[in-house]
Homo-oligomer: A and B are copies of this chain.
Amino acid sequence: MMFDVSYLINELILPLAAVFVNGFVCKNSMDVKAEDFFFDGLNPGNPNKLGSVVNLVNVEKIPGLNTLGISLARIDFAPFGLNPPHTHPRATEILTVIEGELYVGFVTSYLNGGGNKLFTKLLKKGDVFVFPQGLIHFQFNKGHTNAVAIAGLSSQNPGAITIANAVFGSKLPISDDVLAKAFQVDKKTVDWLQAQFWRDNNN
**Interface of A with B (CB < 8 Å)?**
1-6, 8-9, 11-13, 15-17, 19, 21-27, 29-30, 32-34, 37-43, 50, 57, 59-60, 62, 64-72, 74, 82, 84-85, 87-96, 98, 103, 105-112, 114, 116-121, 124, 126-136, 138, 140, 142, 150-157, 159-175, 177-179, 181-185, 193, 196-197, 200-201, 203
Contact = CB atoms under 8 A, between A and B. Distances in A.
Contact of A92 (B60, B70, B119, B196): B70
Give the interface SS of chain A, mostly helix, strand, loop or mixed.
Answer: mixed
A9 to B, nearest CB: 7
A155 B70 CA distance: 9
Contacts of A171: 116-118
A69 B50 CA distance: 31
A157 B25 contact: yes
A28 B153 CA distance: 24
Contact of A2 (B4, B17, B120, B133): B4
Nearest to A152: B152
